[in-house]
């Protein structure tokens, strides 16, 4: 900490108001790269807390510990001994980093906490034995041992204080529990005082906040009293603070204070907001007061540094922690909220929530012992021609010089253009959403279990683009989970697709998830109105709403619609997340939970990726490096990013296609993601390609030979090892960050989508004018020949095939044959998307990206139309209006675009006839 760093004024003001900011996180690279010391200066950081869940992410989410694990394993240490050695070293080193804080505060601050085993929560004797062992092993005056505040462990707390061990009492939810542990602290000090021992022992009482709101808000929703949401956590904590003041300002503590004893400070824990409708500094600004600690996740600490308001730290001169909570507590009681039952429930769940990560950690360490013995594999390996490798290296250096990585994490919108431009600063919530939602895993899984236990066998997601593509990837990657509902997707306006979904389910045992950020997506609302009417007829008016769940942004029209129709639940997503970056928010996680996917694995992987994406300079293989690489390669004409994905993650291309195309395809530049194009021979690829191989660990290596040949031929090839469906969270976050950095490299805003609305407006115009007045003729051979000739003559050109028809695996196979035929004959890139889904995906790139695309629209109908309640048109009419509107929009942008109708009942046979026809023209 020799280099002086300017202190953040907001956090300095928090310290001056009497609240110490502690970090609820520990990991080795924070210690080895000096980051913790920097935060002590820049963020006025005065302490660190840890627990098994934190160590699980740190140890299993990185390779930082592999060397130590390998060494300890060779010495014969078991998993628990390895964990203890790692944890003791990190806590000891953190104590040393914060030693100057401890000294400067006269021993009152600068503490680092290590928790006893969660399995000892009801074992006082075992707790005190382990507390002694940890205290002696740490051998630091600014260490603290975390002991749970259960009734069983109260004697252990008293004994530890008596023995001179600093104690962080954790898992406190109720005021009554707080009083018991405060009394134990006082008894321990009184025993020392009676024996003439020094009173230089310190303790904090960790009182959990946001989890109280999560549980109470759930109960309030069930009672229709959302007007009281968001009050319980602060009111409960303030009640504890009032009790703290009464105890430590009273007569009993006075002689101890006079003898030099410190108060047992209330520590506000679980202070990251869980509900995106709440300000992210709610539990910081709302609990400021003398003699308090606020231990924050990194995301909350950074939010406080950016947005905490020192003027809000007191109300009419009263610190916010000392505000009177009685009115809020009375209102909650009147609404039927039994706060004692709430806190009892949270304590039980809290103990379980700490036991499970410890079990997973120990199991993971066993696996890590074998993995650490092998050579480490970078997240992304690059095979680049020398000239391109040098260009990428220079781009990385520019990112370091411009401090791009740190500025993105600091929500600095000037990374992507002038300050204050729309859709930047309010579109970066995805950076920290995984950590924020980790604490909600229990609630999400609990909700999913309640749905399953109600007999639901199918969950149908009604959504488009960012609302559907991540869940679709999760569904296909994980497959149906035994004992859980099957997840189906409807992101089509094809009437046959609507009927297919309806015929596949028992409506009485089906839950529909209506998923739209804006609340006004025409495809999603049309599907909802159809299925709500069908459900209404099936189960009746009162029961119909219970078969629907909404996922949307706060304030969207869907919120009111869901309330009016009696939806089972509405999930309000963080509004600071754009649709294509929402994979790890409610839009991705609620469907994943409902199908029984592994949420902890998804979020743990995302948290690990976030850590790698913070690295400065960007580490080879991390998200920052990857973004610099694909952005710089695109600047050198290598702008066709072609994905080759091993099983079982083949569907990944569906999601990453939207992310990259819609984020970068604007202002005449961009990166075109290419998904599901069959691999070809080396001469089938032009000089505009980059190939990305998501290579499965333990896979059969079926693609390795061809990719090696492409690399040898001079094509850039990036290889990204992946580890099965549970690794999707890491991969999602890695590519989100890489795409943002690529936006910087390309000089564009990766969070807006200026051309998406054009096709929507064109659709409205067609619906208003009617389809009969301006039918679109199919292309003849001359038009198709001209389209293909233009494709061949256009340097860097690509053919986008757009199918307005029922999605099916058989059609996917047939279109792959068409794509290979065109690609092999022209050495040009091909893409394919189902309409109207691609309008919310690659559609932005088609209109706003480089003007080198050629477009072939395929349309097919089968069977009768399906009516849309409340509209004068049905799904078939809507689909045709979207197809015609898109065609007209492309032509208005000067893009060569032709249309073909697939005749007959079999679209696959009709497409193969088109392929044969085009082969003749080629």
Banded pLDDT at 373 (limits 50, 70, 90) = very low
Q: Dump the DSSP string for 677-733.
A: PPP--GGG--TTEEEEEEEETT---TTHHHHHHHHHTT--EEEEEE-SGGGHHHHHH
Q: Quick one: pLDDT at residue 381?
A: 66
Q: Quick one: pLDDT at residue 611?
A: 81
Higher pLDDT, 841 or 509: 509
Q: Dump the DSSP string for 320-335.
A: GGGS--HHHHHHHHHT
**Is the pLDDT score of 525 beyond 60?**
yes
Which H helix or E strand runs over 221? helix 210-223
Banded pLDDT at 371 (limits 50, 70, 90) = low
CA angle 842, 843, 845 (to 5 degrees): 65
% the chain with pLDDT above 90: 81
CA dist., res. 437 & res. 130, Å (int)? 31
User: In CATH, what class is 431-600?
Assistant: alpha beta
Mean of all residue pLDDT scores within the chain: 93
Cα 684 from chain centroid (whole Å): 37
Q: Quick one: pLDDT at residue 375?
A: 39
Banded pLDDT at 216 (limits 50, 70, 90) = very high
**Is the pLDDT score of 374 beyond 70?**
no
**Is the pLDDT score of 3 beyond 80?**
no
CA-nearest of 497, 481, 477 to 489 is 497
- pLDDT tens figures, 441-485: 888 999 999 999 999 999 999 999 999 999 999 999 999 999 999
Domain residue spans in the chain? 9-353, 381-403+616-746, 431-600, 756-921
Q: Which CATH architecture has domain 756-921?
A: 3-Layer(aba) Sandwich (3.40)
Q: Quick one: pLDDT at residue 380?
A: 62
- The count of other CB atoms within 10 Å of the CB of residue 415 is 23
Banded pLDDT at 369 (limits 50, 70, 90) = low
What is the arithmetic mean of pLDDT over 83-90? 95
What is the arithmetic mean of pLDDT over 106-132? 94
**Is the pLDDT score of 340 beyond 70?**
yes
Domains 381-403+616-746 and 431-600 fall in the same CATH topology: yes
CA dist., res. 784 & res. 803, Å (int)? 16
Q: What CATH number labels 9-353?
A: 3.20.20.70
Question: Token match 């596949």: residue?
Answer: 504
Please state the length of the chain: 922
What is the arithmetic mean of pLDDT over 887-909? 95
CA dist., res. 738 & res. 734, Å (int)? 6
Among 78-87, 279-288, 757-766, the range scoring the smallest mean pLDDT is: 757-766
Q: Quick one: pLDDT at residue 29?
A: 87
What is the arithmetic mean of pLDDT over 713-734? 94
% the chain with pLDDT above 70: 98
**Is the pLDDT score of 824 beyond 80?**
yes
**Is the pLDDT score of 76 beyond 80?**
no
CA dist., res. 736 & res. 652, Å (int)? 13
Banded pLDDT at 370 (limits 50, 70, 90) = low
Among 232-246, 508-522, 597-611, 719-733, the range scoring the smallest mean pLDDT is: 597-611
Contact predicate 515/491, CB 8 Å? no
What is the arithmetic mean of pLDDT over 354-368? 79
Banded pLDDT at 774 (limits 50, 70, 90) = low
Contact predicate 517/869, CB 8 Å? no
**Is the pLDDT score of 75 beyond 80?**
no
Banded pLDDT at 195 (limits 50, 70, 90) = very high
The residues, ordered by sequence, that sit 6+ positions from 264 with a Cβ below 8 Å of its Cβ are 169, 181, 182, 185, 203, 204, 205, 244, 248
What is the arithmetic mean of pLDDT over 816-833? 96
Just list the catalytic residues: 146
Q: Quick one: pLDDT at residue 256?
A: 97
Terminal C-alpha separation, the chain? 68
What is the arithmetic mean of pLDDT over 802-806? 96
Burial of 195 (0-12, 13-18, 19+ CB in 10 A): exposed
**Is the pLDDT score of 2 beyond 50?**
no
Q: Distances in Å between the alpha carbon of 679 and those of 93, 655, 692?
A: 50, 20, 12
Q: Rounded to 5, what percent of the chain is helix, strand, coil?
A: 55, 15, 30
CA dist., res. 44 & res. 11, Å (int)? 6
Contact predicate 67/86, CB 8 Å? no
Query: Phi and psi (nearest 5°) for 895?
Result: -85, 130
What is the arithmetic mean of pLDDT over 561-583? 95
CATH H-level superfamily of 381-403+616-746: Glucose-6-phosphate isomerase like protein; domain 1 (3.40.50.10490)
The token duo for 242 is 């009032």
């Amino acid at each position: 900490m020799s280099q002086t760093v300017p202190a953040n004024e907001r956090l300095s003001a928090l310290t001056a108001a009497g609240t110490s900011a502690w970090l609820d996180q520990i990991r080795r690279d924070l210690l080895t790269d000096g980051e913790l010391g920097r935060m002590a200066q820049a963020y006025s950081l005065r302490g660190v807390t840890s627990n098994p869940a934190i160590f699980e992410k740190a140890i299993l989410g990185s390779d930082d510990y592999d060397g130590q694990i390998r060494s300890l394993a060779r010495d014969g240490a078991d998993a628990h001994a390895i964990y203890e050695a790692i944890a003791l070293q990190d806590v000891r080193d953190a104590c040393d980093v914060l030693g100057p804080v401890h000294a400067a505060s006269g021993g009152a601050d600068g503490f680092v906490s290590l928790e006893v085993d969660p399995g000892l929560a009801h074992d006082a004797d075992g707790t005190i034995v382990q507390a002694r062992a940890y205290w002696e092993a740490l051998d630091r005056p600014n260490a603290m041992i975390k002991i749970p505040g259960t009734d069983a462990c109260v004697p252990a707390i008293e004994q530890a204080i008596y023995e001179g061990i600093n104690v962080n009492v954790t898992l406190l939810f109720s005021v009554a529990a707080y009083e018991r542990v405060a009394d134990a602290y006082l008894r321990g000090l009184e025993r020392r005082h009676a024996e003439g021992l020094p009173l230089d022992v310190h303790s904090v009482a960790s009182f959990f906040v946001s989890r109280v709101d999560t549980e109470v808000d759930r109960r309030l929703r069930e009672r229709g009293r959302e007007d009281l949401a968001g009050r319980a956590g602060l009111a409960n904590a303030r009640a504890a603070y009032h009790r703290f003041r009464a105890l430590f300002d009273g007569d009993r503590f006075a002689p101890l204070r006079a003898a030099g004893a410190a108060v047992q400070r209330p520590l506000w824990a679980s202070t990251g907001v869980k509900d995106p409708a709440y300000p992210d500094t709610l539990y910081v600004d709302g609990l400021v007061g003398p003699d308090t600690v606020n231990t924050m996740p990194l995301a909350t600490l950074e939010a406080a540094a950016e947005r905490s308001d020192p003027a809000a730290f007191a109300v009419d001169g009263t610190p916010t922690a000392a505000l009177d909570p009685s009115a809020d507590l009375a209102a909650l009681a009147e609404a039927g909220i039994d706060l004692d039952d709430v806190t009892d429930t949270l304590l039980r769940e809290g103990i379980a929530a700490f036991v499970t990560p410890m079990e997973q950690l120990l199991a993971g360490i066993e696996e890590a012992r074998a993995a650490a013995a092998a050579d480490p594999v970078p997240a992304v390996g690059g095979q680049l021609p020398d000239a391109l490798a040098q260009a990428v290296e220079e781009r990385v250096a520019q990112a370091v010089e411009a401090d791009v990585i740190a500025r993105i994490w600091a929500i600095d919108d000037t990374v992507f253009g002038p300050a204050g431009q729309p859709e930047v600063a309010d579109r970066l919530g995805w950076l920290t959403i995984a950590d924020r939602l980790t604490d909600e895993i229990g609630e999400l899984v609990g909700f999913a279990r309640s749905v399953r236990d109600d007999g639901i066998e199918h969950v149908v997601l009604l959504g488009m683009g960012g609302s559907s593509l991540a869940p679709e990837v999760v569904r296909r990657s994980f497959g149906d989970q035994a004992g859980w509902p099957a997840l189906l997707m409807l992101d089509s306006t094809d009437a046959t697709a609507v009927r297919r979904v309806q015929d596949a389910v028992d409506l009485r045992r089906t839950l529909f998830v209506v998923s739209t950020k804006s609340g006004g997506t025409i495809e999603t609302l049309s599907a909802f109105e159809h299925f709500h009417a069908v459900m209404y007829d099936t189960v009746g008016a009162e029961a119909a709403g219970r078969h629907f769940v909404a996922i949307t942004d706060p304030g969207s029209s869907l919120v009111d619609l869901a309330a009016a129709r009696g939806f089972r639940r509405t999930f309000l997503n963080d509004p600071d997340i754009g649709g294509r970056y929402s994979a790890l928010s409610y839009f991705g996680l609620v469907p994943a939970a409902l199908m029984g996917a592994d949420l902890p694995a998804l979020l743990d992987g995302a948290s690990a990726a976030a850590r790698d994406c913070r690295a400065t300079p960007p580490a080879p293989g991390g998200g920052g490096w990857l973004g610099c690489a694909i952005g710089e390669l695109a600047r050198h004409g290598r702008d066709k990013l072609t994905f080759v994905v091993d099983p079982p993650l083949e569907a990944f291309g569906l999601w990453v296609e939207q992310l990259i195309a819609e984020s970068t395809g604007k202002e005449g530049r961009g990166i075109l993601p290419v998904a599901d194009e069959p691999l070809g021979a080396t001469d089938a690829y032009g000089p505009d390609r980059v190939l990305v191989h998501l290579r499965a660990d333990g896979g059969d290596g079926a693609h390795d030979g061809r990719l090696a040949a492409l690399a040898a031929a001079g094509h850039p090839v990036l290889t990204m090892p992946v580890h099965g469906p549970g690794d999707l969270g890491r991969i999602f976050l890695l590519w989100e960050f890489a795409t943002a950095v690529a936006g910087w490299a390309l000089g564009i805003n990766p969070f807006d989508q200026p051309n998406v609305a054009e096709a929507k407006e064109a659709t409205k115009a067609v619906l208003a004018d009617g389809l009969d007045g301006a039918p679109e003729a199919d292309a003849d051979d001359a038009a198709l020949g001209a389209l293909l000739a233009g494709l061949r003559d256009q340097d860097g050109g690509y053919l986008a095939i757009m199918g307005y028809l029922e999605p099916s695996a058989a059609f996917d196979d047939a279109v792959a044959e068409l794509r290979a035929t065109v690609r092999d004959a022209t050495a040009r890139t091909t893409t394919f998307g189902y309409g109207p889904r691609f309008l919310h995906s690659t559609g932005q790139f088609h209109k706003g990206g480089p003007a080198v695309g050629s477009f072939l629209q395929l349309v097919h109908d089968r069977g009768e139309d399906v009516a849309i309640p409340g509209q004068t048109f049905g799904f078939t009419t809507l689909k045709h209006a979207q197809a015609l509107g898109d065609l007209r929009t492309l032509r208005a942008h000067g893009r060569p675009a032709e249309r073909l109708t697939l005749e007959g009942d079999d679209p696959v046979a009709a497409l193969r006839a088109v392929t044969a026809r085009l082969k003749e023209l080629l």
